[in-house]
Amino acid sequence: MLHIKPIINTLMRSKSGPILLLIQIILSVAIVANASFIISERIALMDRESGTMEEEVFDFRLYAFDSDIDIESQSPRDMRAIRELPGVIDATMTSMVPLSGGGWSSGYTIGNSEETAKDTESAAIYYGDDHMVNTLGVDLIEGRNFYAAEIVTGSPDLATHAIVSKAFAKATWGDEPAIGQIMYAGDFGSQPLQVIGVVDKLQGAWVNSSYLDNSVILNVRLVNVFTKVLVRAEVGTLAQLKEAIPAVLHKDQPNRVIEGFTLISEHRKRVYRNHELMATVLSMMVVLLLLITSLGLAGMVMFNIERRTKQIGTRRALGAKRRDILSLFLVENYIICIVGGIIGGLVAVQLGQQLMTFYSLPKLELIYPIVTVAGLMVLTTVAVILPARKAACISPATATRSV
Amino acid sequence: MFFYYLDLAWRSIKKTPLLSLLMVLAISVGISTTITTLNVYQLMSVNPAGERSDKLIAVQLWSQGKDAWKEFNAQVTYQDAFNLRKSDLPVRQTAMFVTGLAIQTEDADFSPLLESVRVTDSDFFGMFSVPFLYGGAWDKSVDTEAAYQVVINEEINKQLFSGENSVGKTLFLDSKPYQVVGVIKTWNPSPQYYDVTTGAFKDSAQLFVPFSLAPIEEFQSWGNNQSWKRESMDTYSDRLNSEMHWIQFWAEVTDDKQRDEYAQWLTRYVEQQQLLGRFESPEAGAQLSNVAQWLDLNEVVPEDNKILVGLSALFLLVCLVNMLGLLLAKFLKRAPEVGVRRAIGASRNQIFAQHMVEVGLIGFCGGVLGLIWAWGSLSMLSAHFDLEESLTHLDPSMWIIAPAIAICAALIAGTYPAWRICSTNPSVHLKSQ
């Protein structure tokens, strides 16, 4: 039914128009495929969960600049006061806040003897007390939490017990149970840490690191003039606690700076900002590109129809039905689309290859150019049908009169 | 003649409003994405040191052990910074890091502020051309004989001393009295090239205190602290004697000759340290970078930006191809009219010029519209993502660049259709009338 040969002949007779369309489709496929690949990469990155109750947990900075303050006795008093405030679920001192972009990380040593000892992957380290697990709202799936009596106060190297994230346990001990394992904070044998619990998921501070899901909580309440405090409170109470917490802490000891109240969900927004920005700009680009391409195509078809009014009229007079005229334009479009799609797909893969070589992007998955070509076929069909329907309505009489 | 062609072009645009609008839209969208990405790129890659770029040298040392990092660290250790400061080769030099201190005044009602503070040497202000409002840097002698002096910026001066000349007055940092010796004007080079270790596009510090106070006051480091060696660091002097990298070091030289001399001096320094048992790696050495090299080395322009600029250039190309197609359609449709004009004596050149003027007019409209889009999208992005203002304001040069790109691009796209229309034989068109 489809007369492809005469259509190709028509295309070959006036080359410039179809060639321009072809170039446009090739470029569109190359850009859209790569852009949507980058967009989906970024969205996948942003969708990772931190494992904490991001809407409930916030942190603030506490800076006791007065050297007369005895931090060691001051901080338990502070924590008790905060926990008693209405709306507060739990609170703890911490060395680091999830997704905040700044904090502590380290690798550990494991093994049975000095010769077989090896280093673990790096992990984010949270120094905190028995309230840490509950404050973060992480899910303890194996073992137990610290007992209050196990918490030591002072410097980081006093740690003895560790709660690790499932990802870290898996990376370090594989299928062996993590509970009861020993790892060393220094070289083999120095500063042993006993693993007593595993939490399902807990991310560290740096979302672009390769070890984001590796985390360790150690049983140390740090003594430092500059500390961070994590508070878990009922949703919506932050505004009121922002006033209440400094008030209650200043009543006890006024010579301190208390500031920087930030929900983990806000930290998330900030650390992923560049990824979100990239995804947004690229999405805008894809939408605009498709819009421009289809509008341009519609414009070209409209022009073609006017130019070929006589030809269409003659065909109609010779017995061609309306849908024959419609299919004429559609087939023309599909020929260009398929050829452009194939070449465009190759160019897209090439472009992806270049991006991978020069920038830290993964390899373009083939499904992206394929879906893009399919999408373009649908889009151009719409862009062609709307003006072509007009062409199909041309009556043989009108067409022949204009000769 | 030009204005006559302009008039003709305007009439022709009015005759096919839809097609012309499509073209203007296509080119404006292409221009606006290109301008948006180019603008951010340009503002990120600007070298704020200007003509001093070649004189300011960032110093890096490969002081780590054999199996440690495989590259130069952006910072140096305290002991190296301390030793480098003794060299009399550079004209000026400074070691520095960021800390945070609580500010109080003599006014008891003033509630303390926590501010980031740059700990640095007196040469800092001269090297990086910091403009002063009142007073100046502390005396050079303070770099060796520590004194409690501070340089503040305009904003803090407003907050603490209601904007009057505060030189000689006292403020309290962590409860210790400091004497104000200078007030600087608002100064915020972007990128913050003198310290890129904690992000190159954040605001500069508001206060500056002498580096020589660090061992006395034990200022904490708010920047990055990178260790390759496991050392216990219980006291501040452990930290100062450690192999931890946490200090930025810059030197100023007058010319390349002095730079080479300084490089040789550093090589000797490394050898001397090797005799003392440090710098064990075979790659041990020093690396000097001027500001331009430094920005490049630290990849201050993020990859994302380069990808975006590339993709938007391709995008512009699509828009141009699109426009080329539409122009071809539009011009060829007008062939009979051109035939008449040719027949009554218009030369090919005149026809060509007439069409190019029309294309240029479309390009100009597209450029202006694109500039408006770009302005809109930049303000939308900055509002939504809370971006640094320095990155999202439209660079003044864009007001020239945007229409220029638009017109050039349009003229390139229009050449072929205009050539096609003026090169066909008029008799063909006349016959079809």
Task: List all residues 6 or more positions away from B270 whose beta carbon is below 8 Å from its beta carbon.
Answer: B61, B279, B284, B285, B286
Task: List all residues 6 or more positions away from A254 whose beta carbon is below 8 Å from its beta carbon.
Answer: none
CB-neighbour burial class of residue B256 (10 A; exposed 0-12, middle 13-18, buried 19+): exposed
Q: Are A294 and A380 in contact (CB under 8 A)?
A: yes
Using the beta-carbon criterion (under 8 Å), do A17 and B325 form an inter-chain contact? yes
Contact with chain B for residue A289, Cβ under 8 A: yes
pLDDT for the residue numbered A400? 65
Would you give per-residue pLDDT tens digits along chain A (403 residues)?
456 777 777 777 777 778 888 898 999 999 999 999 999 999 999 999 999 999 999 999 998 888 788 888 999 999 999 999 999 999 999 989 999 887 778 888 898 888 888 888 889 999 999 999 999 999 999 999 999 999 999 888 899 999 999 999 999 999 999 999 999 987 788 889 999 999 999 999 888 888 899 999 999 998 888 889 999 999 999 999 999 999 999 999 888 889 889 999 999 998 898 899 889 989 999 999 998 888 888 887 777 777 777 778 888 888 888 888 888 888 888 888 899 999 999 999 999 888 888 887 888 888 999 999 999 899 888 888 888 887 777 777 776 665 4
Q: Are B248 and B197 in contact (CB under 8 A)?
A: yes
Chain A residues in contact with B312 by the CB 8 A cut-off are 285
Chain B residues in contact with A17 by the CB 8 A cut-off are 325, 328-329
Q: Which of B321, B387, B412, B416 to mutate to test the interface with A (most CBs of A within 10 A)?
A: B321
- Per-residue pLDDT band for B433 (boundaries 50, 70, 90) equals very low
Q: Are A122 and A183 in contact (CB under 8 A)?
A: no
Digit-coded pLDDT (tens) for B302-352: 888 888 899 988 998 998 888 888 888 888 777 788 888 888 888 888 888
Q: Are B269 and B81 in contact (CB under 8 A)?
A: no
Contact with chain B for residue A247, Cβ under 8 A: no
CA distance A273 to chain B (A): 7
Q: Are A253 and A74 in contact (CB under 8 A)?
A: yes
Chain B residues in contact with A61 by the CB 8 A cut-off are 114
pLDDT for the residue numbered B56? 94
Q: Which of B176, B318, B377 to mutate to test the interface with A (most CBs of A within 10 A)?
A: B318
Which position has the higher pLDDT, B13 or A283? A283
A340 φψ region: left (φ > 0), alpha (ψ -120 to 50), beta (else): alpha
Digit-coded pLDDT (tens) for B27-40: 898 888 888 888 88
Strands A226-233 and A57-63: antiparallel
Q: Which of A26, A31, A37, A65 to mutate to test the interface with B (most CBs of B within 10 A)?
A: A65
Chain A residues in contact with B306 by the CB 8 A cut-off are 359
- Per-residue pLDDT band for B22 (boundaries 50, 70, 90) equals confident
Nearest CA in chain B to A42: B304
Report the range of poorest mean pLDDT among B28-42, B92-106, B116-130, B276-290: B28-42
Residue B166 phi, psi (nearest 5): -100, 10
Q: What is the mean pLDDT of residues B60-85?
A: 90
**Helical (H) or strand (E) element with B180:** strand B176-184
Chain A residues in contact with B22 by the CB 8 A cut-off are 295-296, 299
Which position has the higher pLDDT, A311 or B135? B135
Which position has the higher pLDDT, B360 or A8? B360
pLDDT for the residue numbered B114? 87
pLDDT for the residue numbered A149? 94
Q: Which of B44, B117, B319, B322 to mutate to test the interface with A (most CBs of A within 10 A)?
A: B322
Contact with chain B for residue A386, Cβ under 8 A: no
**Helical (H) or strand (E) element with A274:** helix A273-307
Q: Which of B29, B100, B333 minimises the CB distance to A292?
A: B29
- Per-residue pLDDT band for B69 (boundaries 50, 70, 90) equals confident
- Give the separation between CA B344 and CA B306, rounded to whole angstroms: 53
Using the beta-carbon criterion (under 8 Å), do B26 and A296 form an inter-chain contact? yes
Chain A residues in contact with B384 by the CB 8 A cut-off are 280
Task: List all residues 6 or more positions away from A399 whose beta carbon is below 8 Å from its beta carbon.
Answer: A309, A310, A312, A313, A314, A316, A317
For chain B, the helix, strand and coil percentages under 3-state DSSP, each to the nearest 5: 50, 15, 35
Cα distances from B282 to residues B63, B271, B272, in angstroms, run 10, 11, 14
Q: Which of A30, A66, A299 minimises the CB distance to B175?
A: A66
- Give the separation between CA B130 and CA B187, rounded to whole angstroms: 7
pLDDT for the residue numbered A401? 67
pLDDT for the residue numbered A403? 46
For every residue of A217-243, DSSP letters joined together read EESEEE--SEEEEEEEE-TT-HHHHHH
Using the beta-carbon criterion (under 8 Å), do A34 and B311 form an inter-chain contact? yes
Nearest CA in chain B to A185: B230
Task: List all residues 6 or more positions away from A256 whose beta carbon is below 8 Å from its beta carbon.
Answer: A62, A63, A64, A65, A66, A69, A249, A250, B112
Q: What is the mean pLDDT of residues B261-284?
A: 93
Q: Are B147 and B210 in contact (CB under 8 A)?
A: yes
Residue with tokens 């839809």: B18
Contact with chain B for residue A113, Cβ under 8 A: no
Share of chain B above pLDDT 70, in %: 97
Q: At CA A291, angle to CA A376 and CA B418, rounded to 5?
A: 100
Cα distances from B318 to residues A125, A402, A403, B321, in angstroms, run 50, 36, 36, 5
**Helical spans, DSSP H, in B242-385:** 256-275, 291-297, 303-333, 335-343, 348-385
Q: Which of B102, B311, B416 minimises the CB distance to A63?
A: B102
b/e for A286-323, b at 16 or more Cβ within 10 A? bebbbebbbbbbbbbbbbbbebbbeebbebbeeebeee
For every residue of B68-120, DSSP letters joined together read S-SS--SSB-HHHHHHHTT--SSSEEEEEEEEEEEEE-S-TTSPPEEEEEEEE
Digit-coded pLDDT (tens) for A241-258: 999 999 999 999 888 889
Model ipTM? 0.81
